[in-house]
Structure formats: structure tokens, C-alpha cells
Structure 1
Amino acid sequence: MQVLVINSGSSSLKYQVRDTEAGAVLLEGLIERIGQAETALPDSGQRGAGVPDHAAALELVSAALGEIRIEAVGHRVVHGGERFSEPVLIDNEITRAIERLNPLAPLHNPANVLGIRAIAAKWPELPQVVVFDTAFHRSLPEYAWRYAIPEELYQRHGIRRYGFHGTSHEFVSRQAAEFLGIPSGDFDGVIAHLGNGASITAIKAGRSLDTSMGFTPLEGLVMGTRSGDLDPSILVFLGREGYSPEQIDTLLNRESGLLALAGNNDMRSVVEAAGRGERAAELALAVTSYRLAKYIGAYHVAVEGMKALVFTAGIGENSAEFRALVVDRLTALGIELDQAANVIRAKTARLISTEHSAIPVLVVPTDEERAIAEATASLVAAGA
């Protein structure tokens, strides 16, 4: 099946066409600055007039498709709340249900819905499927997703751990199980999805048991511009010092993390600066690797002994230096990195620990677009 995968943002639309039977990418592109004055033209280095809305952006996608015939559309939707635990076929009721979740993801879900409605208007006959970032984490036991706060806050406002990056964590856990030669349902492991946004998930019997991101993607690891875990009283203190909620949100989501510690949110630049002996960069790497190692140790306990530690996403797949910093903190678990294997670059799953390592360490490339396309094709075929 030829599936158009859409990742719709408030001012951008990323797309990819996948042939799920051939396992091939037929087309991909990014339309930016939607609703703004200027945009990048698809498949061109030129700049052009901005498109006014997502419907107009789809006209550019349609033009780029040429003779490619689309049979279904798969959407990445960030927040599925407590209702959605798996991909679903879109109808008007599902679209309205996603809109009702807007307060939980005000920067993402409204934009996702814009993409859904634009597709429905342009190609009303095409089946559409939504794949939720939160869905894989619906298997969390209550003791993992509950916060120790009054029940009313959960009942009235839905305040609980939801977790994100679920599509990636699920895909990578299955790929890791295949690499190890075991059924995905037998996989107990820890997946570290490390990019500008970063999360770590404990997988027990192929299901999400715990994950570092919480009510929002801010909780957990140190990220590119996000603080990750911190004392909640800091927010109270800042409020008393005159910071507005908007200022606190900007501070913690856009001005913290690697950017705050090292002055740069690009891991490659931070690693290079640390190599030159720059103290701020060295500290940033120490803080970030220490936080991740703490989570790995905790999740090793949570899954009652991980069968593999898996690195994925931009930093996880490409930064040998950061992987080494993290694994060096895990000697108490008997983990031993193969330094030569660690620096090899490849686009396939690979082992980077030694044969003597008590726990295998893997690098497994993620492919969220593939996961969305395959889920879309499966669901559409089942409903045919």
C-alpha cells in the first residue's frame, strides 16, 4: 500500500510517501513557514511566497506527488490522552475527540487537526489513520503513571503521566527484539530515545512499563532546550519572584537543557567544545550523561533485569562520544562497551558492547514514518 505520512505542525508540514509492501520511500519533503511570508519550495533550494494555510501546503504536496497514487494517509498526533491506546481510523467523531485533547497539547494537537481536516477537504475519499505518540504508554501501570497529588487534579484536569515518543519506543523495541532473536513479547529492555527532545522507556514483556516524560514532554532527561526533572518548588519560587507562567514555560522549555549549560543545544557542538576543554561543555555532558545513567539504573530494576540497553534517535544513533559517557557510568551493571564497534556508523541495528558485557548494548535506528505507514496500511486493510 502507498501511504502518505503527515506530520503537521503549526507552521510546517513534513511528509513522506511509503510503499509498505516494498518497504521503500517514494517521496519526502518539508514545507515550512506556513502562514508566513516566505517558504522553501519543495525539492528546491529557492525561496518563495509563503502558503497561507495547511490546505495550500497540501497543494504543494499534491504537485510533488506527480504520478504517485496515494491509497491512505497516516498522521502523527502527539497526544491521545487516556482514550486512545492504538491507531484508529479517522471520522468526524475521532477528529473532534482529538480536538478535545487540545488543552493537554496546545502546541501540537491543534496543528495535527489542521492537517487532518486539510486532507479530508482535499481527498475526502482517502482513508486516514492517526497514530498517537502517547498510545504505547497506555500500558503503564497506575503506580507508574500516578502523581502523588490530590485526586481532583487527575479527575478534573487529567494530570498524570502520559509519556511521549511512544511510536519510536514501540518500533525500536520490536527491532531490538528481532535483532536479539526473541519474540517482541519477550523483550525486557531499556530504550533511550535521544534527540533534541529525549526520553527513556522501560519495556517489560514488549510493553511500556515506565517512561521519563510525564504530563508534558518537559519531565525526565536533560534535553536540547528543556530542563527535564527539577524541584517543583522552583516554579513556585520563580512565580513569587515575579515570573509569569508564560515566562516560566519559555525558560524551562526553550532556554534550559544543553542550551543553558553549554550555550548550545546541538550535541555535536557541545562534544566538540568539551574536546577543546571548555568547562561549560564538559559540565553539560556530565550532567546530561549522569541523569540518563540514573534512569537506566532505575529502569533496569523496574523491568527486573534488562535484556538490552538500546540507543536510538539523532544523538543516540550518531554520538559515539555521548554513548561512551553514559555507558562508562554503568560499570556496576557489568556493562562493557566495545570502543571500536561504538564508533562505527551504520544505518542498521548493531551491537556496540563486548562479548563479555553482562548486558548487550545496541544502537537501533528509529523510523517513526515507517511505523506510522505500516500501522496505517494494516488498519486500512483490516477495515476494507
Structure 2
Amino acid sequence: MAEVTTGARTFISVNQGAHTASYNMHGSFSGEVQSTVTRRIDYYLDAVLVETGAHGQVSALNTSWNSYTNGQTPKDLVADEDGYSWKARVTSNIYGSLVGALEYFKTHAVTATASTPSSSAVTARTATIACNYYPNVNVSSCSAQLQYKKTADPGWTNAGSPATDGGKVQASASEGITGLDPSTQYQVRLVITRTTENETSLTSAVASFTTEAGVPDLTTDAVTNIAATTAILHGTLVINEGAGVNVYFKWGENTPPVANQTANQSKSADESFQQAISGLSYNTLYYFQAFVSFTSPAGSPISGSILSFTTAADPSAKVGSLWVEDVGVNWVDTNRFVKGSTGVDLGLQAGAKKGSPWVEGDNLHYIDDDNHERRINGILGDVVAGLPGSIWVQAVVHQLRWVTEDSGGGTKEASMAAF
């Protein structure tokens, strides 16, 4: 009776340039009588024989051998490959051909490498960090996670999701990071994790960068104390590292507001600020925007959002007042807001003078500032009890209404939608 044993597999080295791994394979033979034995190691990849190593012929009862010391140089196998198997085999003049058990294994991987991380586009609050690396994997997976932290802090923060490039060529991980503190030093590193047989983790060298000084920031807040001709504008300042800081408002009837600017207010700390404005027109829509200027750092000025408000009506205006202005007819509604509409031009009326509107048929007529007669078509409604030609302001919908004569001789209420 004779037996061949596939023995231990001993790792020797990897060749970084060739991306191969070398091993020392062991085998042994034992028999009941002495025989002439030819010793071999067979290598398989995905169950296909790729090479047979001859390790000498001896005459013995028992013998052992390995691929490194018995007439065979170390076998160079593809690095990071999980399809390899091997077995010991002998040919005996007495026992014939005998083989040991087939052993499967995954080869070692070439060492992963990483450069020193870099930083770019650094501002007071944001930065882009990056690092080049070589995964050096074949069948294994590799993740490369960028991390950052304040230099003084103990713990690291992951920047985004890890890169998962594989292979043997250079890859790059890059992430934009936000929420940083101004004028603060940060550190960056790359942590590589692999599912290889060896060297499953690698941490790059640590690089550092310092954020820029923080520029002031501000918000435009809601207006208060709105009256017919006055209002108070509000804003909130976060000064950060700003120097030579002044706040002010721009306001006007157009957006963006540029017609008017308030005086500068010098600031040296975070605070809310306000400015009263006057000389406004009744019942008018205004826009306003807060601004902050500063001498350092760069980036001045900075503006807040644009908000709006409408001034109150003329407190002296009489509800129901009706008059012609330019080419339209205006009136004061029950909330003391001025409403108005423009009629269809019916042409010049020689000798006519601008005057109050009148009802003609179903429609409202008036003479504009250019002595043109204009007509506003009525919207016929329900029959009402009223004197034909009556004109009034509707209390609920704030429209101008009048009573017209219909073909049946009755009266109807008509209204004009206001702008």
C-alpha cells in the first residue's frame, strides 16, 4: 500500500511589477517497499492543468519534496486569483501513478498604493479633496474612502461614498465637502479596504489644508410698521471674519431694487439691524434687499434675498371717491385702496373736458386726460332695485358697479373688474 499527500502551501513573495505571486508547495510519499519515485507538483487554473513541476527522482520507501528546493524555481502565479488549485503526484516503478488531494487557494495580491491626498477650490465653508491610488486587485473588490477632520479633532468623517474601482491601473477618488469652519486647518486621508488574501487595508499619508476666512453673511427680514408713506426694513447679519463691515438696504418700485439706498450702518458683531424709510406713495408695491459690504476678506458686497411690501392706502381717501386719471378711471374701495381700469378708446371728442364717468346703455363711459372718450363694458348681473346710472363701490368685492338699462326697461347691476 502506498500513499501521496498534498502538503502545506507556503507563501514566498509577490512581484509588484509583474503582478504575480510565488509559493513553495509541499508533497510527500510513503510506501511499504522501496521503489523508484518521480516526484511532481501539478498546478491548475479553473480546473485546467497549466504546469507540472518536476522535483527529482529518488529510490526510497518514504520521501517528501517541495517546489522551491527540489530542482524547481518558485512558481509565479497570477496575483489575486481565486481559481487556482494544486496537488502532489508521483510515478513509482512499483505502485504506478499516485496523486494527493486537490487543494484550492486564492493567490496573494500586489500591494495597494496611494498618493498623498490633495485639496482644491478651498473656500471658507467648502473644499474639494482627492487622492490617486492603485487598487492592484484582480478578482477581489476594493473600496477607497476619503476622510477628513479638523486637525485638532480625534475622529475622522467619511467624505461621500467610497470609490470602488478595481484593476491594476491608477484610479482616483474625489469629493466635494461642505459645512467647514472658516480659518480652520483640516486633514485628509484615503483609506483603502480590499477583500484580498493579504494586505486588506491601507491608509494613505495625511495631507492638510486651511479654509479661508469666513465672509459675512446676512438675510433680508420681513418689513414692519407699514403705513401709507413709511415702513421699517429689517435684516440679520452674521459677521464671521469680516472686517470693515457696513450694512444697508436698497429699495424701490422695481426689482431688483436700485432706485434708493439707505445710509451705511457700521457693524462689528452678529446682530439684527433695521432702517426706517419714508416718502413712499400710497397703496404702492415696493421691493427691498439687505446688503453687507466689507474690506476683508474678498467677496464684498453680499446681498440677501429680495422681499416686497405694499404701503397702506391714503388715510384721508374717501371710500367711493371716483375720478379720471390719465387714460383710466380710478376709485377708492372700502379698504381705502385705489383701484382702476382703462376703457376702450372711442376717439377724440372735440370740445369735451375730462370729467367723472357716466353710464350709457350697459357700459361706463368717461373722458380721459387727452379728451378721448373711453368705454368700459359692463358685466351684466342680477336685476337690482336701483336708479339707472347710479355708480358705487361694492363693499364685498371692492369693485366699481353701476346700474344699466336693459332692453326690457328694467335695471341690472354691472361691474368692472379692478386692477
Q: TM-score, length-normalised on structure 2?
A: 0.15
Q: Which has the higher helix share?
A: 1
Query: Going by fraction, where is strand more abundant, 1 or 2?
Result: 2
User: Whose radius of gyration is greater, 1 or 2?
Assistant: 2
Alignment TM-score, normalising by the size of structure 1: 0.16
